[in-house]
Structure 1
Amino acid sequence: FHSAGKVYDVGQTFLDRFGMDTYSFFRRSNLYYPFASHDDWQVANYLLQSGLSMAKIDEYLKLNLIRTLPLSFQTAKGLRGCAELLPPGPRWNYRIVPTSHPTKNPVILYYRDALDCIESLFNHPYYAPHMDYTPFRLFTTAERIVREYTEWMSAEVAWWMQSKLPEGATLCGVILSSDKTHITNMCGGKAAHPLLISLANIRMAVRNKASSHAFLLLALMPISQFLHPNKRMCSVLDARLFHQCLDIVVEPLKTAARIGRMMSDPRTRATTLAQLARITCDPDDVERYFTQCECFRLSGVAEPFFRDWPLSDPANFFSPEALHHWYGEFWDHDVQWCKNALGSQELDFRYSVLQPIVGLRHFKDGITTLKQVTGRAKRDVQRYIVPVIAGAMPTGAVIAIRALMDFRYLAQAHVLTSSTRDKIKDALAKFHEHKSTITDEGLRRGAKSGAALDHWQIPKLELMQSVAPSVSQIGVPVQWSADTTEHAHVEVIKDPAASTNHHNFDSQICRYLDRIERCRAFETATRLSSALRNGPDNGQDIPDSEVDLAAGDVDDPSAEDEDSEEHPTALLNDIWAPKRPVPNFFSIAQTLLTAVPGSIPHPIRTFTSGPTAFRLNYDPSIKRIAIDQAAEMFNIPDLCPAIADYLGREGPYAQNFHSFGGQRRAHADVHLPFSEIQVWYKVRLQQKLHHDRTSVGPVFTINAHPANHAWEYGRRDAAILHIDGRHEWPSSGLTGHAIVEICLIMRPLSPRGCKITWDERFLVYARRFDVAPQQRSQVDPATGLHVLKRATRASGALLGDVFPLDQIRSYAHLVPRFGRAADPRLTSSNSSHFSQSFWLNSYFDKEFYYAIS
């Protein structure tokens, strides 16, 4: 949008405002005033953000060693007094809200100026490089045929709103999130109702990280008890009070949107307000008013907060929400249908015998007895539901549940195209096409009565119809998920409440957050000021070993060396970025390639190949073992001839690309140029995100353990192996790739006193799975999954070969085909060994799903 986001003049930066504080004069000589020094401030900052009570802080300050320190405070009260002298953030206010009906206690609203909160986010230096200031449109090609949707600014609503603003104006999208949360299970089950605010201009990759603190507590909405005899009317009065308080809190935002602008009402808002205008009953007569509202399916709120907010449209600002709507629907309904079809015992058993995935939850006791099921637990259950129920539920029911899984996974993508949006719509349509099987089989039942239901009045399911249309209007739905705000409740409600005296929670929470925000802002300002005064230190040590690199002790080498202007950015990342970021094997591998020769050991244990990064432990699990002994330990009878065939295909330069050969050429007693190998029990893999090739995905571990007391037949994970150089993962999907079971990870050892080219290449012994065609298709029509069978040679032996480790492209998860009833002899440690037919589970990871869908 060319005429938007005009820069008019130089404004007040974050540090400019820091310098305008009442006590800024004293900071000319002492940057850390009211604290004596940087060390003094570090101790104070730690104590203020530690969550310790005042009594515990006093105990700490009375320790003999601490009393010898030159601190500017001696008591907790003195420490908090110093904190009050730090530059403030948006100030807290309170107001007693009048109500039309009596309540048990006065209604007190604690809130901050919404514009001040938005301005503090807009002005913060950490968010500056991660913000969009103008609406934009993305296309997949230069011909502009297929549209891409990502951030809110990439969608139509932002573009339309910008067109209604004066030329040069900057559009700020306000995000409001509100949900009741329990302060603690103690103290009579006290609850709070926080209202959080953020800025849609901040890109979701930063905004939705809890460590970014991009959601501020705007208000604590009052939780009242109306003295009305009709409980249903109490709910109506609660809804009215919420809108009344929200009207007070967002009034500055309405004023900012209204001044100097000619606005027109969107249609849906006008429809709602027109319906309210047709109700002639006095709103104070709650019961009669609500009766008339029910005709229009309205909640009974007479004055909704958006009634006079320019350009506001409930159809646009009430966004889809994954955590409560999609995951909630899955747990409340999909899982119950599966439970009713299979029975709790069978469903739990199938989950319990799945081979565990390192880093993901394993349900060793099943899923039907889970308590306090979190959003993460619901996501983990979803990973396996389709292959688990296959064969035991009616085909139509499996298709319906799989269609909803496709809907959720497609809708969670961080980039959606117009064609993907149509796939989301088609997935929901497929569910509706096959949902009758669920009711016909009596699988949909009442939660309390247990009686079969023949209707589909499920609000969360109805809300799914708005997802596909919302993509083009407000961007990808995943950015609006409540995961971030639910986590923020811990930071802005539960942690502050834990430091109170358990009385008058609201006021004490406000004071606590005020101190914390002062500390964060002061830490940011002092570190930036110190860096600008003293100049950055550009020295960078070369890591002594690869162990340092693997531990994340080096900077990202893909970035250029930071000069004096960029150094403050590094400081901001140090303060505001996640303290435990996902390890980046790609950057580590790049650093190792550019390291000074001789400074790190070879062969390098962290390296990349195509779209995949690999990480092996520095020390092998077995430092030296004879090949014949390894063959016996890992139960690989043809290991020696497989290595010989590999060497025959490899060539003199150890750079050839390998695929599965046909007949075994080498004999069992073939002579090899080496007799010993090193062995690793696992390798970790990482890939770039499917929709963002600049960001790394999660780390997955491929195990290749020999038999032991826990795994009687060994632990072997599956993987995707690249076997055709004309195709590349993930763009080609499974084309040009094979699904294999990794049985051994090894490195040949040159004979003593001899150096051979291929001894620096890591190898794997892998056994292939064949994809069984399904009714003129590569996938099963009910589950949409590939059916796999173990490949064998003409002799009946399992088909296995040796490959370079770097031909692996991805972890893969296989689920046994249980059929009508699972074999009761199966366990999580032997299910993959005894099963001969498997499902390739595309739902275990969203990135894998996008690659093969």
Structure 2
Amino acid sequence: MTQTEIDHFLKLSWFNVKDKPAFSCARELLSWMDLLPPGPKWQTTQFEVQGYTTDTPIHLIWCDGLEVAKSLFGNPIFAQNMSFDPLHDQLPEGATIVPIIAASDKTPVTRQTGGLEMHPLFLTIGNINSDVHMKATSHTWRCVAYMPIPKFETHPNYHTILKSHVWHKCVDLVFAGLKVAAKVSKFMPDPLSIDPWNLDQFQKKSKELLLLGVHLPFWHDWPLTQVFIFLVPEILHTLHKFFFNHLLQWCKEVVGNDELDACYKSHHKCIGMHHFSSGISHHHDIQCTIVAMISGAAPPEFVRPIRALINFMYQAQNPIHTESSIEAMQVSLNKFHNCKVAILEAEARQGKSNIKEDFYIPKLKLLLSFAEAIRNNSGLVQLTVDVSEQLLITHCKSPFTRMSKQKDFGEQIVHILDREEWMRQFNLYLLLCQHNQALINAVVDEDEEVCTTDPTMAWVSHVTPDAHHHFSAPRPIHNHFTKGILSNSANAALTVTRSPDGSNLSWPDVMHTYGLPDLRHKCFWMFSAIKVWSKFHIHLHLTFHPSIIMPSQAVQAKLPSDAFPPRNCDVIFLDMNQGANNPGFSVAQVRIVFQLAPPQCSTAKLPDFLSHPLLYKLKRVYAPEMQPKTCTRFVISITEVTHPVELVLVYGEKVNRSLTLTMSQEHYDHFYLNCYVDKEIYNVLHESLDTEYTL
């Protein structure tokens, strides 16, 4: 709300007091907020770098790291998602270890920082289960500081080292309390005997040793810390940015930018999947289809290292790792290095003015540390820029804007940041008190289907299921495994709407409308009325957390329309072990979803598997000796469906530019089975469909 809207709202609301201005009411409301039970308090510190000036003062906005760790460890919200006993360390009775995990997002933010660019610094504790602390909506990652980005008035060669000094000095201050908690010990003097503030001499010596040049890193007096363990790689910059800056550029060089754009523009559009109607953009879903998109146009020896790196990226993002999953991840990385020379031979590594003939890429070298980092920390940091924005409050327009001349902007920011966390805790406290519930999180749901890993919502659901709207959290997912149609293998729940899209239809109407003249040979003419649906939904469990249900995925079987003249039909996997009517095919395109008695039948036309050196390649199957040319069709029970599938057209070396997304899937007869459509499908299909090793 703007300031004017806030004033107008307060005049109309319960603040409506005669002869009392809205601004005074707003000040009174904020003063009440200041009386709420506090959490870790925000503060601001101004400092200088001795001997070097900046164009504006250096401000650090921060919380005490020890206080934040205490609030996380003692928060009852996470009581059911905490581990207190270390697996390998022998500790005295009553003692435990609190692993500190920190992450810094290099993407600058300006909201609630007085217009200054600052980097957020986050903290969480390793006691909280990884599947919880990896979700931004769980609020387990706390922003503990906004790191300043000073502009020094000195030679540009010194800017990087001076900014690094400032960064480490700030983190040193934020984590000072944690160092005390770890029992500070003495630190040895510098054996180089070089004045660290003589930047000319010190920077030269640092470069010789391949060091950044910070002589007082924030961990220098923190006992028992091991920097190579607690500095964890994060997904955004080391994988996603690496893909866009390098892998995607290599593919554009080999296939051609216009050719890739044409592929993505004509790709079949599924519900819930991002479609690139204007060509390639800076979007993470590009990774989901790039392997199949380039397979027809790029040489197989070039596709192989690209596919190996994409496999590595998917495997690295597993929420839970085992020794075998880490080994599989390393195998993928080794395969890339074994065949990466094909990228150089294709002249895909392009510099600003010449072709590069090396792989000197710092982020690529960093991938070598992933396996050990996962072993030490159970997973990687998956925070993104979007998460950074979620962790900041959105009170951009507040009554503080009128106080800017009276108070320092740093104090304004501190007050706003404090209130955001206090309000979140107070809302939960008030809800529990209103329902006479103790402040003990006693949620026990091991024997029930769980639809979310958000710990706050799990607690609220246990206390009062009707109070979800009081809290901002992911929308609850309905559990259709209790009331839906279960697949024969019971691994999927299938649902249709209560009201069909067509009812009381006759067989001639269905055969004519859906273009299925041979449907009469497949069904029972004793049923005179038929119900038809244009889509159904598939609900699956998470691969790594079988008690958690994924959001539903829609499968379309729509009639021709103005938007899709040749029909809009999606593809599914079938249960090969249970299908009594299935003539031996694993993948089918849904043409109609109908009901005779219970929801039981769907008619499909089949692709068949062909071997391909890099991906499964499918072809459409036609009925023999039928004129005109007709696809093979059969009727199955809907319970034989196991997963939705995405196909990518085999475009070949050149895309047919006359085709669009509305007709491409019906025009082509050869497809790639895309096991990269999302991480869940990848984990389900990757082992069984890795034809590179099994064919």
Q: Deviations over 1:243-300 (max 9, x none)?
A: 11211110111111127xxx9x9xxxxxxx99x9343321110121011011111111
- The residue that corresponds to 1:317 in the other structure is 230
Following superposition, the deviation at residue 225 of structure 1 comes to 2.4
What are the within-5 Å matches in structure 2 for residues 210-225 of structure 1? Answer: 210-225=136-151
Distance in 2 between residues matched to 1:532 and 1:568, nearest whole Å = 15
What are the within-5 Å matches in structure 2 for residues 697-708 of structure 1? Answer: 697-708=550-561
- The residue that corresponds to 1:826 in the other structure is 659
> Which consecutive unaligned segments of at least 5 residues does structure 1 have?
1-51, 137-158, 266-272, 537-555, 560-565, 593-604, 645-671, 728-733, 749-758, 775-779
Matched, 1:635 2:586: no
- The residue that corresponds to 2:678 in the other structure is 845
1:833/1:582 CA distance change after superposition, 3 Å? farther
Q: Among residues 338, 343, 348, which one is paired with 2:256 in the alignment?
A: 343
Following superposition, the deviation at residue 122 of structure 1 comes to 1.4
Distance in 1 between residues matched to 2:106 and 2:401, nearest whole Å = 21
- The residue that corresponds to 1:146 in the other structure is none
What are the within-5 Å matches in structure 2 for residues 84-483 of structure 1? Answer: 84-104=34-54, 105-136=56-87, 159=88, 162-163=89-90, 165-184=91-110, 190-228=116-154, 230-258=155-183, 277-367=190-280, 370=281, 373=282, 377-378=283-284, 380-446=285-351, 448-449=352-353, 451-477=354-380, 480-483=381-384
1:184/1:308 CA distance change after superposition, 3 Å? closer
> Which consecutive unaligned segments of at least 5 residues does structure 2 have?
441-446, 451-458, 687-695
RMSD between aligned residues: 3.2
Conserved? CA contact 1:181–1:191, under 8 Å: no
Distance in 1 between residues matched to 2:314 and 2:677, nearest whole Å = 11
Distance in 2 between residues matched to 1:735 and 1:766, nearest whole Å = 12
SS in 2 for 1:694: coil
Following superposition, the deviation at residue 458 of structure 1 comes to 0.8
Matched, 1:490 2:389: yes
Matched, 1:745 2:593: yes
1:533/1:441 CA distance change after superposition, 3 Å? closer
Conserved? CA contact 1:184–1:191, under 8 Å: yes
Q: Deviations over 1:485-518 (max 9, x none)?
A: x334324446245546396654322211112222
SS in 2 for 1:433: helix
Conserved? CA contact 2:111–2:396, under 8 Å: no
Amino acid at match of 1:339: K
Amino acid at match of 1:744: I
Conserved? CA contact 2:487–2:641, under 8 Å: no
Conserved? CA contact 2:350–2:356, under 8 Å: yes
Distance in 1 between residues matched to 2:49 and 2:110, nearest whole Å = 28
TM-score, scaled to structure 1? 0.72
Conserved? CA contact 2:109–2:120, under 8 Å: no
Distance in 2 between residues matched to 1:117 and 1:412, nearest whole Å = 27
Matched, 1:517 2:412: no
Following superposition, the deviation at residue 588 of structure 1 comes to 3.8
Identity %: 28
Distance in 1 between residues matched to 2:659 and 2:227, nearest whole Å = 52
Distance in 1 between residues matched to 2:363 and 2:470, nearest whole Å = 36
| Aligned length, in residue pairs | 659
Following superposition, the deviation at residue 187 of structure 1 comes to 11
Conserved? CA contact 2:34–2:419, under 8 Å: yes
Following superposition, the deviation at residue 520 of structure 1 comes to 2.0
Conserved? CA contact 2:112–2:396, under 8 Å: no
1:344/1:244 CA distance change after superposition, 3 Å? same
What are the within-5 Å matches in structure 2 for residues 530-545 of structure 1? Answer: 530-532=434-436
Conserved? CA contact 1:718–1:814, under 8 Å: yes
The structure whose Rg is larger is: 1
1:507/1:64 CA distance change after superposition, 3 Å? closer
Amino acid at match of 2:503: K
Amino acid at match of 2:52: P
Distance in 2 between residues matched to 1:346 and 1:415, nearest whole Å = 38
Distance in 1 between residues matched to 2:132 and 2:469, nearest whole Å = 14
Distance in 1 between residues matched to 2:112 and 2:674, nearest whole Å = 42
Following superposition, the deviation at residue 709 of structure 1 comes to 1.1
Q: Deviations over 1:343-386 (max 9, x none)?
A: 1111100011110121111001110xx3xx3xxx22x1111101
Amino acid at match of 2:411: S
Distance in 1 between residues matched to 2:262 and 2:529, nearest whole Å = 42
Conserved? CA contact 2:136–2:383, under 8 Å: no
Q: Among residues 613, 617, 624, which one is paired with 1:787 in the alignment?
A: 617
SS in 1 for 2:366: helix
Following superposition, the deviation at residue 579 of structure 1 comes to 3.6
1:282/1:721 CA distance change after superposition, 3 Å? same
Conserved? CA contact 1:707–1:715, under 8 Å: yes
Distance in 1 between residues matched to 2:216 and 2:329, nearest whole Å = 35
SS in 2 for 1:745: strand
SS in 2 for 1:416: coil
Amino acid at match of 1:250: F
Matched, 1:713 2:534: no
TM-score, scaled to structure 2? 0.88
Amino acid at match of 2:36: L
SS in 1 for 2:436: helix
Matched, 1:684 2:537: yes
Amino acid at match of 2:120: P
Distance in 1 between residues matched to 2:176 and 2:578, nearest whole Å = 61
SS in 1 for 2:57: coil
Distance in 1 between residues matched to 2:208 and 2:21, nearest whole Å = 66
Conserved? CA contact 1:492–1:513, under 8 Å: no
Conserved? CA contact 1:582–1:698, under 8 Å: no
1:72/1:529 CA distance change after superposition, 3 Å? farther
